[in-house]
Amino acid sequence: MYPIPLLSFAQNFQTYIKDYKQIFDSSEPEKAHLPQEWANRLDDFQKIMFLKCIRPDKVTNAMQDFVSHNLGQKFIEPQTADLHLVFRDSSATTPLIFVLSVGTDPAADLYKFAEEMKFAKRLNTISLGQGQGPRAEAMMRAAMEKGQWVFFQNCHLSPSWMPTLERLVEQVDPDHVHKDFRLWLTSMPSPQFPVMILQNGSKMTVEPPRGIKANLLRSYVTLNDDFLTSCTGKVDEFKHLLLSLCLFHAVLLERRKFGPLGFNIPYEFTDGDLRICMSQLRMFLMEYTEIAYKVLKYTAGEINYGGRVTDDWDRRCVMNVLDDFYAPKVLDSNYCYDESQIYHQLPPTSEHPAYLAYVRSLPINDTPEIFGLHDNANITFAQNETYRTLNDLLELQPKTATAGENRDVVIEKLAKDVLSRVPKPIPLAPVMEKYPVLYEQSMNTVLTQEIIRYNKLLNVIHTSLQELLKAMKGLVVLSQALEEMSKSLFNNAVPVMWSKAAYPSLKPLASWVTDLIQRVDFVQTWVDNGIPPIFWISGFFFPQAFLTGTLQNYARKFVVSIDTVSFGFQIMKQAVKDITHAPTDGCYIRGLFVEGARWDQAAHVLGESRPKELFTDMPVIWLQPEQNRQVPTSGIYMCPVYKTLTRAGTLSTTGHSTNFVFTIEVPSSKPQKYWIKRGVALICALNY
C-alpha cells in the first residue's frame, strides 16, 4: 500500500497534466514547483519519488538537494584527504589505509607529505605482488625498530600474503615499537583484505578528478616552461599538439562516464599512457622534418592507448576521436575543438602560467558536444547513475516486510503468478516431425535449436519455482540457491539460476517474464503457422544461427560457397502490418532499436535524436544475401547490432560474442566518423 497522499496523487495526476508536462520539459525539474494542491501535501522525500517516475535522470540532483537541506552542504561536497589531520590522529599501532578507486594513485601525495614531515629518507616503499612477501615482512620489522615509515602499495594484488600482514599488525607491541613507526597501505576494495586491519586502521579514499577541466589541470600542473620549449626547432607545433594530446587524454577518460555510448568497456587509461605519448610527440617532432601524423596516430591510438583496448568497435572509436586531435588543423592558433568555442588553441607565445590560467577558466561541467555526443547522452549517464544508486539502496533494505505484507507472502504470490503465466516447454517430437532436417531449408534446424534452448530455460523456471513453493511450506530444505532466488524475486530481479540458462537481458523481473512469454509465443506461432514473413530478431535465443541459416539457404539454392556470400541491406518503407509475404531471397527482420540517433523516415537516412528521446524503433530491414558483394565506401554507417544495452560481451565457445550480433549498413548523409563518435548502435532489447 502507498501512503494516502501518494495514492490520491496518482489518481489526481490527469487533472494537472499541463503542469506536469512543464516539469517534464524543464531543464531543472528537481527545482520546479508542483501544483499548489500538492506543493504542501507531499514532503521533500515524496517529491523525489514523483521525480523518479517522470524524470529519473534528475533524481541524484534531487537527492543532493535533500541531503544538503537536511544534513548540510558539506555532506555533498567532495572532501579532500588532509594527510596532516589523518597523521595527527594515528599512532605506531594504527595502520593508515588508502582505499583506491580507478584512476587514482595517492603515492605522490604521500611522498610530498613525507618530505614536509622530514621523513623522505625514512620512507620505505614496496609494491606488493608475487614473491614480495618476505621482503615486505623484513622491511616492516626493521622499520618498527628504527622508527621509519613503511608504504605497502596494491595489497589487493597479493591476497595470499594478507594473512601474514594481519599477523604482523596484530603482533605490533605498543610498548616495544618505535613511536615514529607508521604503516601506510593502499588497496582496491577486496574481500581478501583483512577485516581486523580495516577496523583498527584509519581509512582514506581518494577520488579521481572528474571532468575535462580537472583532467587537463592534472596534466598541465606537472609540466613547466622548460618542457614546453624543449622541442628545438618546433616549439610552436609542440605546444599546439601537446594541448591537443592532453585534451584527447581527458576526452577518452571522460567518455567512460557515458557508459556504452562512450566505450563498450570502461578502460583504465592512465597518466602513464599520456606521459609516454608526450615523450614520443617530442621525439618524433625533433626527428622528422615534416610532422609525421601517421606515426603519431599509430603509436598513440594503436599502441599506447590502443594496447588497452580489447573491443574492435572501441578501437574504431579511439582512432576516430584521435583524428580530431592529431591533425594539421590543430596547429592554427584560432582552432576550436567544439562549436561552442569553449575548448580552443592558445597563441604559440603562451607560457606555462597562461595554459594553467586557461584551463582554470574552463567550465566544471562538460557538455557532450566536446565528446561528439548528443545532448541526450547526459540523460543516459544521469539515468544510469540514478539506477545504480537505487539498486544500492534496495540491497540495503531489511528483508522482513514490505508495506504491511509479510515478505514470504509477497514471494509466494509472485512465484505462483510467474508459474501460472510462463508457458510449459514446447513438445519437441511433433515439431521435428513437422519440420524435419532439410538440405534446402536451414530454418527448420534453426527452429529446432531455438525450441531446445527455450525448453531448457522453461524447465529451469518451472522446476525452481515449484521447489521454492515447497521449501516455503517446509516440505523440502531451503537451499542457498533457493534463498538467493527468493531474494531476487522480492527485489524484482531475475534470479541468477534463471539468467544462467537464459539469453542476455537487462530487464527487471516483471518485464523479463513478459518478454519471455512473447519470445515463446513467437516460436509457437512459427510452429503453428509455418515460417513467418518477418522474423522478430530480438526473439531469437541465438540470432547468429538464424543469420547463418539465411546465408546457407541462399548458398544451397544457387550452389555457391557460403564463404563468398554476405548480406546486403535495404531499409523498408512499408510498415510491419503491410508486409505479408517473405522475400524470394533473404529475409525481413524487425524489432531493432536505434541508440544515439534515430531513423529519419522522410529522408530515409540516419538522423539526429530528438531531445529526451533515447531510443527509437528501426523499420523492417531486408537482409539480401549476395555473392562476392562489394561493401560501399560512402553513404552508409557500419552500425553494430547488440543484444542488450551493455554492448560489451565475451567470446563464447562457439566463437561468437555473447552480445554482438552482426553489422548492418545503415544509409547516412553524414560521414561515418560523425556517428562513430555519437556511439550509434542498433539494440535488440532494451532494459525495460
- CATH code of the domain containing 254: 1.10.8.720
DSSP single-letter state for residue 42: S
Query: Is residue 251 situated within a structural domain?
Result: yes
Q: Distance (Å, rounded) from C-alpha 209 to C-alpha 203?
A: 20
Q: What single-letter amino acid sits at 85?
A: L
For residue 2, the model assigns a pLDDT of 46
Q: What is the mean pLDDT of residues 200-207?
A: 81
Query: Is residue 637 situated within a structural domain?
Result: yes
Tens digit of each residue's pLDDT (9 = 90 or more) over 131-164? 888 889 999 989 988 889 999 998 988 888 899 9
Q: What single-letter amino acid sits at 672?
A: Q
For residue 652, the model assigns a pLDDT of 65
Query: Is residue 395 situated within a structural domain?
Result: no
Asked whether residue 572 falls in the same domain as residue 618, the answer is yes
Query: Is residue 393 situated within a structural domain?
Result: no
DSSP single-letter state for residue 368: G
Q: Distance (Å, rounded) from C-alpha 528 to C-alpha 444?
A: 13
Q: What is the mean pLDDT of residues 517-543?
A: 94
Q: What is the mean pLDDT of residues 229-257?
A: 92
Residue 12 reports pLDDT greater than 80: no
How many structural domains comprise the chain? Answer: 5
For residue 402, the model assigns a pLDDT of 47
List the one residue out of 582, 518, 595, 519 whose CA is nearest residue 553: 582
Query: Is residue 592 situated within a structural domain?
Result: yes
For residue 401, the model assigns a pLDDT of 47
Contact 432, 426 (CB under 8 A): no
CATH number of the domain at 658, please.
3.10.490.20
Query: Is residue 391 situated within a structural domain?
Result: no
Asked whether residue 526 falls in the same domain as residue 537, the answer is no
Write the CB contacts of 359 (distance below 8 Å, at least 6 apart in sequence).
Answer: 213, 216, 217, 220
Asked whether residue 45 falls in the same domain as residue 58, the answer is yes
Query: Is residue 667 situated within a structural domain?
Result: yes
CATH number of the domain at 91, please.
3.40.50.300
Query: Is residue 390 situated within a structural domain?
Result: no
pLDDT class of 475 with cuts at 50, 70, 90: confident
Residue 534 reports pLDDT greater than 90: yes
Asked whether residue 441 falls in the same domain as residue 368, the answer is no
What count of Cα atoms within 13 Å lies in the side-chain half-sphere of residue 606? Answer: 28
Asked whether residue 224 falls in the same domain as residue 300, the answer is yes
- Name the grid cell of 636: 552508409
List the one residue out of 580, 549, 577, 579 whose CA is nearest residue 565: 549
Instruction: Single out the residue in 142, 174, 205 at which a domain terminates.
Output: 205
Asked whether residue 21 falls in the same domain as residue 91, the answer is no
Asked whether residue 233 falls in the same domain as residue 360, the answer is yes
Q: What is the mean pLDDT of residues 667-679?
A: 94
CATH number of the domain at 526, please.
1.20.1270
Q: Distance (Å, rounded) from C-alpha 292 to C-alpha 298?
A: 10
Long-range contacts of 627-632 (CB under 8 A, 24+ apart): 627/558, 627/560, 627/564, 627/565, 628/564, 629/566, 629/567, 629/568, 631/665, 632/665
Asked whether residue 196 falls in the same domain as residue 251, the answer is no
Q: What single-letter amino acid sits at 403?
A: A
Domain range for 631: 533-688
Asked whether residue 191 falls in the same domain as residue 244, the answer is no
Contact 659, 648 (CB under 8 A): yes
Tens digit of each residue's pLDDT (9 = 90 or more) over 478-520? 888 888 898 888 888 899 999 999 999 989 999 999 999 999 9
Contact 683, 592 (CB under 8 A): yes
Asked whether residue 248 falls in the same domain as residue 316, the answer is yes
Asked whether residue 105 falls in the same domain as residue 32, the answer is no
- Angle among Cα 514, 404, 30 to the nearest 5 degrees reads 70
Q: Distance (Å, rounded) from C-alpha 541 to C-alpha 452?
A: 10
For residue 497, the model assigns a pLDDT of 92
Percent of the chain with pLDDT over 90: 44
Residue 621 reports pLDDT greater than 60: yes
Asked whether residue 408 falls in the same domain as residue 501, the answer is yes
Instruction: Single out the residue in 75, 97, 119 at which a domain terminates.
Output: 75
Instruction: Single out the residue in 487, 502, 531 at which a domain terminates.
Output: 531
Tens digit of each residue's pLDDT (9 = 90 or more) over 414-461? 999 999 999 999 999 999 999 898 888 899 999 999 999 999 999 999
Residue 96 reports pLDDT greater than 50: yes
